[in-house]
């Protein structure tokens, strides 16, 4: 993130406070996350613990990967991001850590770091194979507390990637629902519903060139796209099932309250919504449904 | 808040830690709040981020305004309170900041600061019109991340209200459900149900004078009340629909477990409850229902 | 907790940051916890506030006691644990504080500290009877904000147990669902369901001796057990109603996805689960159901 103000009171950034973010599917009820927080503050007492979400659907690796990709770039680059969505705990999957120019990451090697790995080409990974950085006698069912949290805390407190693990060439990657792009259409699918019922799609990396023109940028490996695709936002039409949206807009209030709208969401993704309403419930559009931009 | 103990270990308060509270309707699941936290820690790394609630009903400005009014006075006066319940994002509503003797506030200008503005007569407001204190290229749909969070962080880090905006005379105010007060009755309505099913009303600012007498204080603009009204708590009768409560009490355990009770809640409001039960579900009393004190 | 690494970057632990954990049944929606956070930061501005859970079922003292017992040992011993599940607020129950070698605790005297008190024989308790450490004019219905939070903050900031209260001999203890142990069986019951639908029992303090043998340790007063009981984990059979589980395992992935399994959970308790599934929903096993290990 480029900060627009650099005044005298930002001089404090010189000596950064360690930050550890937490993203899990543990929920907030059972105290699992509380135990992780205790482990981390025992090892690195001055660490800032910052929650991303603990309400990832149980064992939904893709949802966690998407949330992570929309958040990590807003944190300082010295941040350690701890991600524990770990259906394979205690089995053969390895615990890993990844270092990028925009932050370090600790997670099971199950694809949850896919979007980070693809977006940050200058990354490297290690397998966490140094038990001296874990809690003693780790349990078989809660590596979040016994392996991942202590490693994240040690990294935040000064340990290096090579202290905590050994080089790993190819972390596990999720496969992508493919985008289909022709001169007439861009076709993707719904990948997430947010708390407001807004419908988020995998047609991502849309960028406004001006008031009328959008560009679909070839950032991720989700397409064979080599050149950006230009979209006339006013003339484009978006369909999903029998629903039809005229134009791609900038924000909800460009239509009346209660009206449907297609727009570019806050992370650059094509989004279907109802102004001050719940598009998921009212329109019945859900995860996995096809969404098409007619150019 | 007046602290009852001033010992040597409070001398540390001399140099206050910046505090930013967060109150939104974003929920905790999608990572929206996580992105805001990252933005703020990037700008003011030493800020304490303190959650008030992220479970405000989507776009329920009044609920957020009520929660805020019950909480902000418990924080140190150097706290910055960030409130993002923003159904009009990207439209014509302005982003604003308000300074009071008991804290500063950053929010959309949609009435969410109504109770603060009325309770703090020595307040002043600015419109946030200095993009150099925002993230570059703010999105059209997530000003919480791109405008409000950076401004709150800059304020917490040392910026002044005049750095971040230009004077605003009349922030938007919510209209109040009116109290009706006669020599025989005080009539209001239910405005909130809490997690326990306790029923909270807009008959607020009740204060115990002694074991028997209550006073309804003329603090807010919700009534034409100029003099306080005295209420004999033992003899008063409270009704809502066909439900009848004898007396106004101090606490739940003054009746048996499972019995209904009218009492003065922890923020001075008339409250209807069941001792260790859920009055909302059992009695069917809900937001908008009329509640009457018979004097 | 014994930390496995003591390197130069742990020298910072010398001067500990005050930590206060929060465990309540207030939920996160209504701002009640927010007010408590404000009170504590007003008194001890440098305190770290760390959430354990606010989603304890309303007034479920036993659930809070169990969560607390699974978490507090992971925190540094200078931590103050604030527990507010308080159905008797404003009535005759006393507010108390407890000091143990592994942390201090502030709570209502209603049994919520039972497991801590039994696990930490070198504990002592006080009744909180020094109003100068409370907020002035405490409400009758929200001692979490007006009594417990200020006392926790003062303890974290330097006050001693004797500053804030007077000695108390016998804190209230919960009664335990008894374990029945014979040469043929160990019989207990389900006491908790976690977010994943895993079924947790009161057959606790199981410890692996090797790959095959488990030991049930006589730690708590829940049994008359004086000697540890050895269990052959491979040959043992677990039943609950008509459900049958062969062997006691170490982790979920020792069976196929979708298969049932009995295992030792992350806090040493007998747990019934489905690998990557929800045992509570699928099997219909719930809190209070009998669970038997056939030796």
Closest-CA residue of A relative to C68 is A31
Helix (H) or strand (E) holding B215: strand B213-216
CB-based contact A38 C13, cutoff 8 Å: no
Out of C1, C9, C54, closest to residue A157 by CB: C9
Contact list, B155 vs chain A (CB under 8 Å): none
- Same domain flag for A202 and A155: no
- Which residues touch A192 (CB under 8 Å, ≥6 apart)? A63, A66, A200, A287, B30
Residue C119 located in a structural domain: yes
pLDDT at A27: 94
Residue C122 located in a structural domain: yes
Q: Which chains touch A (3 or more CB pairs under 8 A)?
A: B, C
Residue B11 located in a structural domain: yes
Contact between A149 and A39 under an 8 Å Cβ cutoff? The reply is yes
pLDDT at B53: 97
- Same domain flag for A25 and A157: yes
Residue A145 located in a structural domain: yes
pLDDT of C70-98, one tens digit each?
Answer: 999 999 999 999 999 999 888 889 999 99
- Same domain flag for B121 and B51: yes
Tell me the shortest Cα–Cα distance from B184 to chain A, in angstroms.
Answer: 42
Helix (H) or strand (E) holding C150: helix C149-157
Q: What is the DSSP letter of B59?
A: T
Closest-CA residue of A relative to C51 is A34
pLDDT of A233-247, one tens digit each?
Answer: 999 999 999 999 999
- Same domain flag for A190 and A229: yes
Contact list, C27 vs chain B (CB under 8 Å): 55, 195
CB-based contact B42 A5, cutoff 8 Å: no
- Same domain flag for C245 and C277: yes
- Same domain flag for B59 and B138: yes
Looking at chain B, the whole-number percentage of residues with pLDDT higher than 90 is 82
User: Which of A168, A197, A219 is where one domain is finished?
Assistant: A168
Query: Over 60: is that where the pLDDT of B2 sits?
Result: no
Residue C130 located in a structural domain: yes
- CATH number of the domain encompassing residue B249: 2.40.30.90
C213 beta partners: C232
pLDDT at C187: 95
CB-based contact C4 A37, cutoff 8 Å: no
Name all contacts of C183-188 with Cβ < 8 Å and 24+ positions apart: C183/C295, C184/C294, C184/C295, C185/C292, C185/C293, C185/C294, C185/C295, C186/C216, C186/C229, C186/C231, C186/C292, C186/C293, C186/C295, C187/C290, C187/C291, C187/C292, C187/C293, C188/C270, C188/C290, C188/C291, C188/C292
CB-based contact B13 C141, cutoff 8 Å: no
- Same domain flag for C122 and C200: no
Contact between A246 and A261 under an 8 Å Cβ cutoff? The reply is no
Q: What is the DSSP letter of C178?
A: P
- Same domain flag for C19 and C131: yes
CB-based contact A51 B31, cutoff 8 Å: no
Using DSSP, how many helices (H) and how many strands (E) does chain A show? 7, 18
| Distance in Å from the first CA to the final CA of chain A | 32
Greater confidence (B193 vs C220) lies with B193
Residue A237 located in a structural domain: yes
Out of C59, C132, C140, closest to residue B4 by CB: C132
Greater confidence (B72 vs C226) lies with B72
Out of A28, A139, A140, closest to residue C53 by CB: A28
Phi, psi of A12 (to 5 degrees): -60, -20
- CATH number of the domain encompassing residue C29: 3.40.50.10790
Confidence of residue A179 (pLDDT cuts 50, 70, 90): confident
What is the Cα–Cα distance from B60 to B173, expressed in whole angstroms? 14
What is the Cα–Cα distance from B4 to A242, expressed in whole angstroms? 65
Helix (H) or strand (E) holding C153: helix C149-157
Looking at chain A, the whole-number percentage of residues with pLDDT higher than 70 is 92
Q: Where are the beta strands (DSSP E) in chain C?
A: 19-24, 48-53, 80-84, 95-100, 103-108, 124-127, 166-168, 180-181, 185-193, 199-201, 206-208, 213-216, 229-232, 237-240, 243-246, 260-264, 270-274, 290-294
Quote the number of domains for chain B: 2
CB pairs under 8 A between A and B: 135
Helix (H) or strand (E) holding A65: helix A61-71
CB-based contact A39 C74, cutoff 8 Å: yes
A interface mutation test: which of B33, B34, B59, B86 has the most A CBs within 10 A? B34
B interface mutation test: which of C19, C31, C90 has the most B CBs within 10 A? C31
Residue A217 located in a structural domain: yes
What is the Cα–Cα distance from B293 to B274, expressed in whole angstroms? 18
pLDDT at C197: 95
pLDDT at A220: 58
Out of B48, B71, B196, closest to residue C34 by CB: B71
B104 beta partners: B80, B99
CB-based contact A154 C5, cutoff 8 Å: yes
What is the Cα–Cα distance from B222 to B179, expressed in whole angstroms? 7
- Same domain flag for C132 and C67: yes
CB-based contact B31 A23, cutoff 8 Å: yes
Confidence of residue C201 (pLDDT cuts 50, 70, 90): very high
Q: What is the DSSP letter of C148?
A: I
- Same domain flag for A232 and A202: yes
Closest-CA residue of C relative to B253 is C91
C-alpha pair distances (Å), A92 with each of A86, A88, A140, A200, B66: 12, 7, 12, 33, 51
What is the Cα–Cα distance from A41 to C74, expressed in whole angstroms? 9
Residue C164 located in a structural domain: yes
Query: Over 90: is that where the pLDDT of A2 sits?
Result: no
- Same domain flag for C155 and C188: no
Out of C75, C264, C278, closest to residue A38 by CB: C75
- Which residues touch A179 (CB under 8 Å, ≥6 apart)? A186, A187, A188, A202, A203, A222, A223, A225
User: Which of A168, A191, A206 is where one domain is finished?
Assistant: A168
- Same domain flag for C141 and C9: yes
Contact between B120 and B100 under an 8 Å Cβ cutoff? The reply is yes
What is the Cα–Cα distance from C167 to C102, expressed in whole angstroms? 19
Give the β-pairing of B206-208 and B213-216.
Answer: antiparallel
Q: What is the DSSP letter of B192?
A: E
What is the Cα–Cα distance from A186 to A191, expressed in whole angstroms? 15
User: Which of A122, A145, A168 is where one domain is finished?
Assistant: A168
Q: Which domain holds residue A138?
A: 5-168
CB-based contact C12 A45, cutoff 8 Å: yes
Contact list, B50 vs chain C (CB under 8 Å): 34, 37-38, 41, 49
């Amino acid at each position: 993130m480029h900060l627009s103000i650099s005044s005298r009171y930002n001089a404090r950034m010189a000596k950064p406070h360690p930050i550890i973010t937490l993203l899990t599917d543990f929920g907030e009820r059972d105290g699992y996350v509380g135990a992780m927080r205790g482990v981390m503050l025992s090892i690195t007492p001055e660490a800032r613990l910052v929650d991303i979400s603990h309400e990832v659907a149980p064992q939904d690796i893709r949802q966690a990967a998407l949330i992570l990709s929309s958040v990590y770039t807003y944190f300082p680059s010295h941040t350690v991001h701890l991600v524990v969505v770990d259906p394979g705990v205690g089995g053969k999957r390895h615990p890993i850590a990844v270092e990028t120019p925009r932050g370090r990451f600790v997670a099971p090697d199950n694809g949850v770091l896919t979007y980070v790995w693809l977006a940050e080409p200058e990354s490297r990974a290690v397998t966490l194979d140094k038990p001296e950085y874990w809690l003693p006698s780790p349990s078989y069912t809660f590596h979040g507390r016994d392996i991942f949290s202590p490693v994240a805390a040690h990294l935040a407190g000064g340990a290096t990637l090579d202290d905590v693990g050994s080089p790993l060439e190819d972390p596990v990657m999720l496969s992508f629902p493919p985008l289909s792009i022709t001169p007439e259409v861009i076709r993707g699918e719904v990948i997430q519903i947010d708390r407001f019922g807004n419908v988020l799609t995998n047609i991502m990396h849309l960028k406004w060139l001006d008031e009328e023109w959008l560009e679909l940028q070839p950032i991720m490996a989700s397409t064979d796209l080599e050149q950006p695709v230009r979209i006339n936002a006013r003339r484009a039409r978006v369909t999903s099932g029998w629903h039809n949206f005229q134009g791609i807009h900038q924000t909800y209030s460009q239509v009346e309250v209660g009206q449907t709208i297609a727009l570019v969401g806050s992370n650059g993704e094509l989004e279907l919504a109802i102004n001050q309403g719940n598009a998921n419930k009212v329109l019945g559009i859900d995860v996995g449904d096809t969404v098409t931009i007619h150019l």
